[in-house]
């Protein structure tokens, strides 16, 4: 899994090591499905403060396209943890839905019974 780290504000740059470590830990069971991960941090309000630290995680899955989530919090670490929690849940849901067989409608079943 290739990880791309992008931090616009300079105060988020020291989070690179912890971000890579947390991403590897959170996706340890799903790492075979993920080819590329992109993590970006932005400060929405700039220096004004408040709940404005935004973390976005984008994963490119081998056979299921791209999954993107974001989280906004008061500090960088909380935004990262919230985004990691959401991305894991979304990837698991995506992979589970892909394995589930499609259900046929009652009309399709009725057509099959009348033809046969």
Q: CA nearest 3: which of 58, 55, 62, 41?
A: 58
Backbone angles phi, psi at 74, to 5 degrees: -75, -30
pLDDT category of residue 87 using cuts at 50, 70 and 90? very high
pLDDT tens-digit map of 50-72: 778 999 999 999 888 899 999 99
pLDDT of amino acid 46: 75
Question: What predicted TM-score, i.e. pTM, was given to this entire model?
Answer: 0.79
More confident residue, 30 or 81: 81
Q: State the average pLDDT over residues 76-102.
A: 88
- Helices in 1-116 by DSSP H: which ranges? 16-26, 76-99, 106-115
What's the CATH code of the domain at 60? 3.30.160.100
Structural domain including 26 reads: 2-115
- Over its C-alpha atoms, the chain yields an Rg (Å, rounded) of 19
pLDDT of amino acid 112: 65
Domain count, the chain: 1
Q: Specify whether the backbone of 50 is left (phi greater than 0), alpha (psi in -120 to 50) or beta.
A: left
User: CA-CA distance, 51 to 43, in Å (whole number)?
Assistant: 9
More confident residue, 66 or 101: 66
């Amino acid at each position: 899994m290739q990880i791309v780290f992008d931090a616009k504000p300079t105060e988020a740059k020291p989070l690179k090591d912890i971000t890579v470590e947390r991403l590897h830990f959170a996706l340890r069971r799903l790492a075979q499905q993920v080819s590329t991960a992109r993590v970006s941090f932005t400060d929405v309000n700039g220096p004004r403060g408040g709940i404005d630290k935004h973390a976005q995680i984008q994963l490119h899955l081998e056979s299921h396209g791209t999954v993107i989530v974001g989280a906004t919090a008061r500090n960088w670490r909380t935004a990262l943890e919230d985004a990691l929690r959401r991305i894991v849940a979304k990837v698991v849901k995506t992979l589970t839905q892909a394995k589930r067989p499609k259900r046929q409608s009652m009309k399709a079943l009725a057509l099959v019974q009348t033809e046969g």
